[in-house]
Structure 1
């Protein structure tokens, strides 16, 4: 079985991906020596190059998509949220981690550019994909905020300086806002998928992607109900969020990884 990656066959897009990944890598390496304004500038340049990489992939004829481009879009959405939030909360710090995330996501999409889609079975399918990717991005942003919340809480308990001076309650509130928004978009994604399955396949298709997506939806719903009715917070809430995000990751990304890399099928 051939497990070797398939590199992008679009030289300009490959060059652009390399430059975007290099920009993120430079930020990850040099951020301790950069001023806040310089860091924001380098991150903005890397973010813009990343956007151009995504656009070049989607504008190919035929367009390509797969597990790695999905992760790349998700990482870009998380970075978009971070750039907006740093304007509102300048004390938020997670640049090194997000720069590494951007580097890995761009390079992964360069090595595994996905499968070509010469024709769409429905003109509405891009809406379903957009809702799904948006839910990935919002839930990934919730995971990042939960991770930052854990690090800040641990630093407080140890009496050390935290990576972020943003109050814990603010981080917690932001985390659950992203969970709620991601849950809403995931609900819309599942409804759209159910409608498309009924239209195109004459019935709901229970495959691995659907099963894991429904499990993620149930887990996120339980988390929100637990927060609302039982006041869940701290480790219980964070662990439940991680489980739900893991199910969602196994949905599209996991199933496409198996098809594209392990089974070599498109």
Structure 2
């Protein structure tokens, strides 16, 4: 089957899963229904085929802007579905990640190649893999933080309707946020340390912004975890610092790739 058709099938399955989740919520059905997750697994299988074909080639691994975006959304979905299967109430995050994944997988199959292939040794594979997983987990944490902010505001304004009636209790939402942050910080630590060990010069001109912003993100998330357990930081403080750390991380990776590959075309 041609790659664009597989990508189209993946996108359609993601949208179907999103629609089914919305229907369950609108009908106040159980958000833990397995049907959207089952459809999502089929979408991810197609997504995996597209991602693998997009990044692998005879001349090495292609990690251009569009290709790596699709790969990261695949990782985001895999982490989210795995967490759901482990009884974590993250179903509502699928309403954000699945539509974006549909766009990413289509652009990956149809968009131009923006970076030449490169050979990755075992050390660099550890660095790239841990970076992608860290970004995936911290992306989910940022979406969780945004939902938590809406929930907290509605509860303080005494408007228990809307999104609040679909969500777990506020304390459970906060607990899930900090679980995601812990896992994300550990993975980001592995990514940064492996980068220093296996990348020739992390402070070279084309890498310095990525390196500095990644360290800033790590410091932000680490400060938040310390403040939560030592000073009791919660709710809006947690939300603000999570989103600030994620912004630094997003600029570290996609910001630098956007400038280098799509604007400067290097």
TM-score category of the 2 structures, normalised to the smaller one: 0.7 to 0.9
Contact persistence 2:72–2:136 (CA under 8 A): yes
* Cα RMSD (Å): 2.5
Closer/same/farther in 2, CA of residues 204 and 196 from structure 1, 3 Å limit: farther
What is the rounded CA distance, in whole Å, between the counterparts of 2:23 and 2:134 in structure 1? 35
2:36 maps to 1:42: no
User: Cα distance, 1:165 vs. partner?
Assistant: 3.2
Q: How many residues align?
A: 251
- Structure 1 unaligned residues grouped into runs of 5+: 1-10
Q: Which residue of 2 aligns with 1:106?
A: 105
Map of 2:57 onto structure 1: 60
Inter-partner Cα distance in structure 1 for 2:36 and 2:97? 12
Cα separation, 2, equivalents of 1:91 and 1:219? 23
* Structure 2 runs not aligned, ≥5 long: none
Q: Assess if the C-alpha contact under 8 Å between 2:93 and 2:144 holds in 1.
A: no
| 1:230-249 deviation line (CA, Å, top 9, x unaligned) | 11111111111101011011
CA contact (8 A) 1:215 1:247 kept: yes
**Corresponding residue SS for 2:57:** coil
Separation in 2 of the partners of 1:243 and 1:112? Answer: 31
Go from structure 1 to structure 2 and tell me whether the alpha carbon gap of 1:31 and 1:144 turns closer, same or farther (over 3 Å shift). Answer: same
- What TM-score, normalized by structure 1, do the two folds share? 0.83
CA distance in 2, matches of 1:204, 1:148: 36
Moved over 6 A (4+): none
Query: 1:17–1:74: structure 2 CA closer, same or farther, 3 Å change rule?
Result: same
Residues 112 and 68 from structure 1, CA distance in 2 versus in 1: closer, same or farther, beyond 3 angstroms? same
Q: Does 1:115 align with 2:115?
A: yes
Q: Distance in 1 between matches of 2:203 and 2:95?
A: 42
Change (3 A) 1:230 1:68: farther
Distance 1:125-1:257 versus aligned 2 partners, 3 A rule? same
TM-score by length of 2: 0.83
Shift of 1:74: 2.5
